[in-house]
Amino acid sequence: MRFLADMGVSHRVVEHLRAESHDVVHLSEQGLQRLPNGQIFQKAAAEQRIVLTFDLDFGEIVAGASGSIPSVIIFRLHNTRSEHVVERLKVALEQAADALNTGAVVSVQEGRVRVRHLPFR
């Protein structure tokens, strides 16, 4: 899978995904630390990448978007340590891989993974 990691996502999470043979770009690696959320969304769509973020605004951006819509994984975790994020991400990818490939917003929480298929109806 192809991912675009937002600034709140640890580089350790990115390293884990790369070790699992995923294509991952972190915004900081491209000098895009201050890129507004709307432009992050557009970049992900243009590059066909799944956005990884802790920013709840992306749910609203997806809801208001039309046309090409990338999938988004939103972490809603109390424990944001890299190791925990990686473990919850593994569960999310196992449960939502098909949905992510066809368009979805995946909310990763402490005890569950919620998948909403795109476009929202």
Q: For residue 39, what pLDDT is reported? A: 93
Whole-angstrom distance, CA of residue 20 vs CA of residue 69 = 25
Q: For residue 62, what pLDDT is reported? A: 78
pTM, full prediction: 0.92
Q: Cβ-count burial of 41 within 10 angstroms (0-12 exposed, 13-18 middle, 19+ buried)?
A: buried
pLDDT in tens, 59-77: 777 766 665 578 999 999 9
**CATH hierarchy code of domain 2-117:** 3.40.50
Domain boundaries, the chain: 2-117
More confident residue, 117 or 76: 76
Q: Which residues touch 71 (CB under 8 Å, ≥6 apart)?
A: 50, 51, 99, 100, 101, 103, 104, 105, 106, 118
Q: Cβ-count burial of 5 within 10 angstroms (0-12 exposed, 13-18 middle, 19+ buried)?
A: buried
Q: For residue 43, what pLDDT is reported? A: 95
Task: Find the farthest-apart pair of alpha carbons in the chain and give their distance in angstroms, rounded.
Answer: 36
Q: Quick one: CA torsion of 114, 115, 118, 119, rounded to 10 degrees?
A: -40
Q: Which whole-number Å values give the CA distances from 2 to 64, 104, 112, in the listed order? A: 23, 14, 23
pLDDT in tens, 5-54: 999 999 999 999 999 999 999 999 999 999 999 899 999 999 999 999 99
